Structure 1
Amino acid sequence: MLREQIERLIKYERRDCKTNDATLFDLILEHARVQQRFHSQAGGRTTPQPRAQAPQQQPKRTQKSAKPSHPAGVKKVRAPPRDGCLVCRGPHWLDECPTATSEQRADALAKLRAAKNARQESVQSKAVLATARPNMVRVNGMVEIPYVPDSGADRTMISRSVVASLAEFSPDLKLSKLEAPVAVYLADGRRIECREKATVALELVTAAGPVHMRDVECLVLDSDVEELLLGNDAMKSLGIDVERMIEQLAGASLLDEEKDEFPVGDELVPPNSGEDGVLDQLVDEALPNGMPGEHVDRLRSLVHEHGDVFRERLGDDPPALVEPLKVTLADDAVPFRCKPRKYAPLQSAFLREYTAELEKRGFIRKNNAAKWACAAVPVRKPGSQTEFRITIDYRPVNKVTVPIAGAMPNLAVVSSSVRGAKCFAKFDMIKGFWQPPLDVDSQELMSFMTEDTVYTPTRVPQGAVDSAIHFQMQMQDAMAPMLQRNALVWVDDVIIFAPTVEEFLQALKEFFIILRDRRLKLSAAKSSLFQLEALWCGKLISGSGVRHDPERVDALSALPVPSTVAELQYFVCASNWLHDSLPDYARVVAPLQERLGLERKRIGRRNKNALNVAVTLTKAEVTSYNEVKTLIKASVPLVFPSPTSELVVITDASLTGWSIVVTEVQAWDDSLPVDKQQHRMVLCKGGTFKDSQLNWAIVEKEAFPIVKACTDLEYLLQRERGFKLFCDHANLIYIFAPHVELKKHVRDRLQRWAMRLCGLRFTIEHVAGETNVWADIVSRWKKSQVEFVQPRSEREANLDRQCCGHWLTKTSDFLP
């Protein structure tokens, strides 16, 4: 039984014992002692001693006492019971009660025995079990009872009935009196004084796993409740946020709870084209998604005609007809061969089974003579304790690889090509990295080692430095006839779009033909044949514009205040993904970004485990956190500007920040001021001045967002109609207007910035500060927050008062 228990512990909990003999010895010794004590005590309770031994034991007890405590013939006076008489509650024992009758004594003894038996049945000995049950606590490795995390309790408490039952299994229980009684107020308002404390070892079991706590002092509560109250003293000793309760005991983080978004092809079955039932289901889903009913039959016929491009699982299909990945090494590259690794039994079994299947499919081949070999790393799948996926540690090869000179598409640029589209389809390449071939000369470089042998892949491996960019380039090459016109590609994520259903069906047919010719396969489970808007790269794209996924927005808005540095980093990075549609984001998120930078600098490492340390946000940072969530809830949809509309760029700056707002006005009315026009948001940007930028003159700070907009947003502003540039600093008109000669006294920095604007068609117009509503909101804050820079002249002081002397919050006049 001990052997089975130790094997279970090593397999699921104490994997460190596989490589550390000393740790293994301590584990075996600990549980052997527990079992020996348990069986010895159990035998002592159940096996009656022979009567003949009774006289022999009496002299031993009397010999231990040097002198008797009472003279011979005098009856020993017993101390009164702690809870008093069972009948009258007086300070005497039941058999000495002067008022109790024989029937009352018998009833009281019967109730006492029944309560003791019920208590023993409710408390179970779990000394021989490998792990306790969830929401249970094992005390001293012997007794298992329920526990309740109580953030309202300052001390951990255990009931008297549990202590009494625990003493039966653990005679060495550490029980001591308190120096002064501790008053405890129960939930029903009762007041109980605790006079004793017990020092125990606890093993708390949560959904994330067991947590061991040793030498925990528990107040002994005079109660019959069969549970342990885990107080703030125990939780804080582990660095647990009592507001989030027991979920943090095992260090779980937000990133651990995410669903698995990056499958890597660890399930292989025989190849099969999309079955009729799966294809029909895809077509049936198109109708409720908005496809006109008269076109459903044509869509069904088209899908069945090209059903061979769909797969439910990737089998032993031949490699795609694309250019193989060729890896180029640096001139000083030296072959690397890792040392054999030791794997857990479950991992070893998975690697043997999985590599055998890959070898059977022709994806890998044995190559023990390979000069290169990186380590195979089985990673547990989310939500499973026994299932794994294979990853390869290609870092040694990546360090000596010359990267491919490729580029990923700019999402903001390519997504504008869907303007005016009404029909969308979304597809995902099934196990995309397994489809393209790997160049023969590069295969040995990507070899990996298990505990059995060395394998060399024949397909592009995931994790190599060139894998993603190579896949993107091959997909762009295959989809070249349709790119920008009817298709967008981001690695293995493809959307097809068209302005009419007729054109959409033609585009689908062209897409399927390309896939068949290139032997590329789609995932039937992740495909959608018709949508009115498509979720692509985390954003919902339609013909009218871009908006963020409501599920992502709701999830971010519902996040609690971060309790670890990793959670803070997760929130800052996730919210930054939405910043183009969040006015005033740069100012609001600045305290969180500053705190994150300080924490990462203090820790020194940025991986998930290193950042999973507790952090407590200040009141100002919590306010900033809540303001960011408010911005996320009110995120603004973005539109694609029309070539015939008027594009408006509004910039503003204050002492410590700047903002850019780009809008579209479809019907510009010259008789109306800019704030009365019908604007639609294209995007917004903002930022704060840092370091030496804080010492710039006001004219330089006002110029910066203009140059920033014309440089970073050139893909939007380089247009035949040009654009209108509005700012609230009159001097800039004389500096940047193309039709005005540059002033000789302008600083070199402004002259360089002005030269960057050459080639753009624009007109700068001045807007009074009280009119520049929206941009002022983005960049301005109260005077109390403007304290980084002091004006360097009276003129600059006047300009500063003009620039930052107001605080506007009204936006309804600016937007329809």
Structure 2
Amino acid sequence: MLSHISDGDITGSNSCNAQTSGPPPKLVGSCPKVTINMGGVDVSCLLDTGSMVTTITESFFAKHFKNWGPEKLKACHWLRLRAANGLDIPYVGYLELDCQVLGRQIPKRGVLVVRDPLEPSPNSEICGVLGMNVIHECYRELFLEHGSALFDLPLVQEDPWQQALQRCHTAQLQPEAQVSGPVRVKGRRKICIPAGTMKFVPTTCRKAPSAHTGTALFEPLDAGLPHGLLSSPALVQVVSGTAFIPITNVGLTEAILPPRSQLGTLCQVEIVSQSNGLTSLLEDLGEEKCVTMATQSVEPNPLKTAIDAIDLSALTVQDQDRVRALLRDYHSVFSSHDGDLGCTSLITHEIPLLDETPVRQRYRRIPPSEYESVKAHIQHLLESQVIRESCSPFASPIVVVRKDSSIRLCVDYRLLNSRTRKDAFPLPRIEESLDVLSGACWFSTLDLASVYNQVPVAEPDKKKTAFCTPFGLFEFNRMPFGLCNAPSTFQRLMERMFGSQNHQSLLLYLDDVIVFSTTVDEHIQRLGAVLETLRVQNLKAKLEKCCFLQTEVKYLGHVISKDGVATDPDKISAVSNWQTPSSVAELRSFLGFASYYRRFVPGFASLAAPLHQLVAELAGTKHKRPSKRTLQDVWTEQCDNSFQELKARLVHSPVLAYANFSQLFILEVDASHWGLGAVLSQQQADGKVRPIAYASRGLKSTERNMSNYSSMKLEFLALKWAMTEKFREYLLGNKCVVFTDNNPLSHLTTAKLGALEQRWAAQLSSFDFSIKYRPGRTNGNADALSRQCQPSEQTVSLETLLPGTSLPDSLVQTVLPPQQVIQSMISVLPSHSLADLATLQRDDPTISGVLKFWRRGTGPTRQERRDLPAAVLEMLRQWRKLVEKEGVLYRQIFQPDGGGTRVPISGPSESQE
């Protein structure tokens, strides 16, 4: 402490005044002062190894750092500056300055600007304090260069510096014993100690020695225990941060020990000789203090038992011990029972309404058999302080839901949600989040306990959460399930907590957290940082739902491993036994489940198109009324084939590789008159080309009109759609090679383009890609995705009609050899056979009407035209472009460059998405 003796008489006792008019001898000493350079300014500082920070005064800052200005100071409200006497020291902010100390340049050290005292000393020359953030860094650099010989340097011979650096050196060789900390009663319930008995009370000590297993010395407080209770110094065993302190009731009546009561302090000790347990402890206390006592057996800590049972078989024995020690250190992060919940102070949930008119509904009847269960559950929520009794004008009804032989109260907030202003905070897209796992080998998943109940509701909005029961009106202190903005609030909380770590060392999706790394050491460090954040923010996780340091984990319905992302077998296993839907609701349920995994199903759009079309027909659309027919009435063989094929694809879905943004991407695109298909792949380290994602979609009605969309234009559309819409996040800023089976598309840079194609080309100009031609038979991935699923060995290809599309010699070298391509191809959706196409055209009412006149050799007469549907008349306008080959009707398309192709005709009834 820097002392100042003012001029004049010194106030004090008479004896002191009688002895001298100045300060008493040996009462005030000199301070170790040094002069260093901070940011180009010489500063006279107090050299203080007891200070963790370096400071300068506000007046010194205003005088010598005018260019900075107070507005440029960095704020650090999270830092609390406290003096040795326990009082807070106010400060303005901090700045980062280069410090020159003992000839060493210490860059970017934080310097706090503290406020001037109310009565500053006019004669004081000291303008700051040089703390350990600078002293220790100076020692570190000197020690790295000179070792222990640094104390022989002339600059270090000065007494203040030698003492300061010697302290740093001693601290490094012999770390200080861990500081004792206050010991408090563990838990939130009061402890009753009967008269004349001793009870071992579970306690916790947040500071170091109790955080590990070992022996510590308990020293009681001189006062503070309730009347009649007595505690004495004792050696106690610390197990996973918990110590059991013997407390004796020497009174004549029962004594109550309140929760969180401070009993004393713990400090770490070194055991020289081991005592014989309780007997020797009581002998040390003295016979005169021994009373009749009844000890209670201490049950084992269930969390410790659960931590010991965690599966860490993928690690070495040494690494397993390290992980379990880490989990024991952070055992307070895990919930020990259903009512053991945290409560963060980082955020509160608000419910902004469109108008303040209260939402009030009558309670719904509860079966009498559920009365006792509901009453007990409400009492449990009251004891956990999740809810409280209410006098709110709001009231929402409850619904009782049974789950695993226990009940859950769900509040029906639908009316309240309809009057709530929605929060637009976005939830992360799962498929984008999983892409950052590339290269990771170790994974841990954390699942928070009753996550919403760990977030407080803003006090003015608690009344809006009120719910009515036969037993009264209650409202939530914590955020309940069912509120429309609850997911956004919790995701915002997680982003605030882990914002700097998200997508770097972990992924967040509401209460599901996955930590990933490439090495075990890195993973333990990252896992410790996550657990520390949860502890600081007072959030708790369910240990039984967490897994640690695994090479393969389940996350959000996926299986994550170093090889890539796959579907969860537990989720997919039910698909194989999924019965044929009997209603539109069941069919929608199946399509919703299948759509969640569509990125694993090549050609999903083509496969699911008949089922989507069936739902639209029965349930109706915006422009079409629902049908009165049942699902069984319109369930066709095509729908059943689509349903069974989707089930098979989901059960045997491939493992998708992670994207490596430092490597070349391979994009395969193809288009047919059924739809568009694309496959994004990359060559892996083992030389194999593995898919990263599949994409497909059906054609729109305008795109199916071949007079508007030629084959080349459709291929161009597939390229534009794949690059600018489906895979934009992967390909923008990265090199890509595009393979297509349309030869004219490979001459895109020199071809004459229409207005629409020029707009597409402008959108593609932002991407770095090259196009290579590959025949359809070797472009199997994308070619199959663009076509309907019908297994066949005989394929229908586009036939060259006129010269102009032959492959130039200069382009032949760019085509991959067949043996290289076959290894990377996954034959997912083979093309239709000629017989299948002929059958489809014959069954189509529009094409069959055209075929009747085509095979007759003449078009319809004027009388016949009056009875023909408009679709048939529209197709007959293409009469001169029609050609039949092997029973299949084709439309002949000519290209501007002189080439041409034939494509099979499709009718309006063809399935599409």
- Give the TM-score normalised by structure 2: 0.52
- Identity fraction in percent: 24
State whether residues 533 and 541 of structure 1, in contact with CA within 8 Å, keep that contact through their aligned partners in structure 2: yes
The answer for the alignment partner of 1:709 in structure 2 is 722
Q: Distance in 2 between matches of 1:534 and 1:762?
A: 36
Would the alpha carbon gap of residues 446 and 537 (structure 1) be closer, same or farther in structure 2, given more than 3 Å must change? same
1:300 equivalent to 2:300? Answer no
- Does residue 377 of structure 1 match 2:399? yes
User: What one-letter code is carried by the residue in structure 2 that aligns with 1:561?
Assistant: T
Contact 2:390–2:473, Cα closer than 8 Å, also in 1: yes
Whether 1:286 and 2:308 are equivalent positions in the alignment is no
Please tell me whether the aligned partners of residues 589 and 624 of structure 1 are also in contact (alpha carbons under 8 angstroms): yes
- For residue 614 of structure 1, report the CA deviation from its aligned partner: 6.9
Residue pair 1:319, 1:435 contacting (<8 A) in 2 also: yes
* Equivalent position of 1:520 in the other structure: 539
What amino acid does structure 1 have at the position aligned with 2:776? Answer: G
Partner of 2:180: none
> How far did residue 304 of structure 1 move?
0.7
Taking the aligned partners of 1:770 and 1:343, their CA distance within structure 2 comes to 65
- Aligned-pair CA distance for 1:459: 0.8
Equivalenced residue count is: 516
Q: Does the aligned pair in 1 maintain the 2:335–2:341 contact within 8 Å?
A: no
**8 Å Cα contact 1:646-1:667 kept in structure 2:** no
Tell me the CA shift for residue 277 of structure 1: 4.4
C-alpha displacement of 1:392 = 0.8
**Corresponding residue for residue 389 of structure 2:** 366
What stretches of structure 2 of length at least 5 have no aligned partner?
1-186, 191-201, 205-239, 241-299, 789-831, 848-874, 883-890, 906-913
Q: Which residue in 1 is equivalent to 2:415?
A: 396
Structure 1 residues 758, 643: CA separation in 2 closer, same or farther (over 3 Å shift)?
same
The superposition leaves residues 520-557 of structure 1 with CA deviations (integer Å, 9 ceiling, x where unpaired) of 10002211122112211100112331111123233212
Alignment partner, residue 752 of structure 1: 759
Structure 1 358/613 Cα, relative in aligned 2: closer, same or farther at 3 Å? farther
> Structure 2 vs 1, CA of residues 611 and 336 (structure 1 numbering), >3 Å: closer, same or farther?
farther
Q: Which amino acid aligns with 1:374?
A: S
Deviation at 1:724, TM superposition (A): 1.1
Q: Is residue 2:742 matched to residue 1:732? A: no
Give the 3 Å change call, closer, same or farther, for CA 503–798 of structure 1 in structure 2: same
Instruction: Decide which moves more: 627-636 or 786-795.
Output: 786-795
Letter of the 2:680 partner, please give it: V
Map 1:97-108; keep pairs closer than 5 Å.
none
**Where does residue 16 of structure 1 map in the other structure?**
none
**Is 1:639 aligned to residue 661 of structure 2?**
no
Give the letter aligned to residue 378 of structure 2.
T
Q: Distance in 1 between matches of 2:397 and 2:304?
A: 40
Contact 1:276 1:304 survives alignment (8 Å): no
- Name the SS of the counterpart of 1:555 in structure 2: coil
Give 2:787's aligned amino acid: R
Matches within 5 A, 1:450-461: 450-461=469-480
Q: Secondary structure at the match of 1:596?
A: helix
Quick one: distance in 2 between partners of 1:630 and 1:270? 55
Q: How does 1:203-214 map to 2 (within 5 A)?
A: none
Aligned with residue 562 of structure 1, among 563, 581, 585: 581
What is the RMSD of the two structures over their aligned residues, measured on CA atoms? 3.5
Query: Which entry has the higher C-alpha Rg, 1 or 2?
Result: 2
SS at match of 1:335: coil
Tell me by how many angstroms 1:444 deviates.
1.4
What corresponds to 2:163 in structure 1?
A: none
Q: Measure how far apart 1:485 and its partner are.
A: 1.8
CA distance in 1, matches of 2:635, 2:524: 54
Q: Does structure 2 retain, via aligned residues, the 8 Å contact 1:592–1:621?
A: yes
Going from structure 1 to structure 2, the CA distance change for 1:803 and 1:400 (only over 3 Å counts) comes to farther
Alpha-carbon distance in structure 2 between the residues aligned to 1:658 and 1:318: 51
Corresponding position of 2:346: 322
Q: How has the CA–CA distance of structure 1 residues 727 and 452 changed in structure 2, closer, same or farther, with 3 Å as cutoff? A: same
Q: Distance in 2 between the 1:720 and 1:603 partners?
A: 40
- C-alpha contact (below 8 Å) 2:452/2:486 kept by paired residues: yes
* Cα shift at 1:658: 1.1
Tell me by how many angstroms 1:465 deviates.
0.7
Range that drifts further, 553-562 or 789-798: 789-798
Report if the CA contact (8 A) 2:439-2:518 is conserved: yes
- Cα deviation, 1:430-485, whole Å, max 9, x if unaligned, reads 11110011111221122111123221211111111100121111112111232112
Are the equivalent residues in 1 in contact too, given 2:678–2:781 (CA < 8 A)? no
Aligned to 2:334: 310
Q: C-alpha separation between the residues in 1 aligned to 2:511 and 2:630? A: 32
Q: State which of 709, 723, 727 in structure 2 corresponds to 1:697.
A: 709
Matches within 5 A, 1:413-562: 413-562=432-581
The residue aligned with 1:577 is 596
1:367–1:455 CA contact under 8 A, matched in 2: yes
Match of 2:360 in 1: 337
Q: Does 1:762 align with 2:786?
A: no
Paired residues of 2:446 and 2:541 also in contact (CA < 8 A): yes
Q: TM-score, normalised by structure 1?
A: 0.58
Distance 1:480 1:776, change over 3 A: same
Task: Tell me if the contact between 1:533 and 1:542 (Cα under 8 Å) persists in the aligned partners.
Answer: yes
- Name the structure 1 match of 2:426: 407
3-state SS of 1:379 partner = strand
Unaligned 5+ segments in structure 1 are: 1-267, 669-676, 807-816
**Structure 1 residues 584 and 714, CA gap change in structure 2 (3 angstroms):** closer
Task: Provide the rounded CA distance (Å) in 2 between the counterparts of 1:539 and 1:726.
Answer: 30
Partner-residue secondary structure (3-state), 2:573: helix
Q: Distance in 1 between matches of 2:767 and 2:401?
A: 52
Deviations 1:83-112 (A, max 9, x none): xxxxxxxxxxxxxxxxxxxxxxxxxxxxxx
Within 2, Cα distance between the matches of 1:318 and 1:632? Answer: 39
Q: CA deviation at 1:711?
A: 2.5
Task: Provide the rounded CA distance (Å) in 2 between the counterparts of 1:282 and 1:566.
Answer: 44
Q: Which residue of 2 aligns with 1:347?
A: 370
Instruction: Determine the C-alpha separation between the residues in 2 that align with 1:603 and 1:647.
Output: 40
Q: Relative to structure 1, is the Cα distance of residues 422 and 660 closer, same or farther in structure 2, using a 3 angstrom cutoff?
A: same
Q: Distance in 1 between matches of 2:768 and 2:623?
A: 47
2:678 to 660, 663, 677: 660
Match for residue 680 of structure 1?
690
Query: Relative to structure 1, is the Cα distance of residues 797 and 507 closer, same or farther in structure 2, using a 3 angstrom cutoff?
Result: same
